Amino acid sequence: MRDETSALVAPSRELFNRLRPVAREIFTATFGRDFETAPFEAFCDGVYGPQGSMMRDFDDPSVEWQVATSRGEPIGYAKLTPLRAPFSDASAGALELQQLYVLQDWHGLGVADRLMEWALSAARQRGADEVYLTVFDHNERAKRFYARYGFAEVGRCTFTLGDLVDDDRIWRAQLRSGDPLPA
């Protein structure tokens, strides 16, 4: 039986190392069926492997992480970075919610909401006026979730994996220090 309580924590290296395979599992469950196996596995190795970009981002002081845990085990995470999405009209100091993922068994239980609230609060604390993210054009569930937090589409970009080029959307939320978070 799943314990339906969770906590948010800034990850230690040990917790982060336990998060990486969970992050790969979430990404695979979300997008694995959309890509050819060999390029997908190569991409995942380059992101989630011991020398992958996820590990490099953990060691980058400009990147903030928050991990959702249940009984000390990772069940989701959020990553806030300096803006990396290709959007030229961003304000100085804009940040990007580059990843927010939760294990499917935890969908609908408020874990993603808590991670989003953390990300927006952390962005405000860093003085950001805007937070950006990219989302796969056909990920309607994610787009509805982001819209609840004031994000709206402002541009387009592509995501390339192997020979497949996906159409992604760039979304932005404009922050003001006194803005309440949605209920």
Q: How confident is the model at residue 137 (pLDDT cuts 50, 70, 90)?
A: confident
Q: Tokens 């981002």, residue?
A: 57
The pLDDT assigned to 36 comes to 85
For residue 183, pLDDT beyond 50: no
- What pairing do the DSSP bridges indicate for beta strands 95-102 and 130-136? parallel
Domain-wise residue ranges, the chain: 6-88+97-174
Q: In this prediction, what percent of the chain has a pLDDT beyond 70? A: 93
- Asked if the 6-88+97-174 domain carries CATH number 1.10.4080.10, the reply is no
For residue 115, pLDDT beyond 50: yes
Per-chain mean pLDDT for the chain: 90
The pLDDT assigned to 177 comes to 56
The pLDDT assigned to 1 comes to 39
The pLDDT assigned to 6 comes to 78
* Overall average pLDDT of the 140-157 stretch: 95
Backbone dihedral region for residue 97 (phi beyond 0: left; psi -120 to 50: alpha; all else: beta): beta
Q: Which residues contact 153 (CB under 8 A, 6 or more apart)?
A: 169, 170, 171
- pTM for this prediction: 0.89
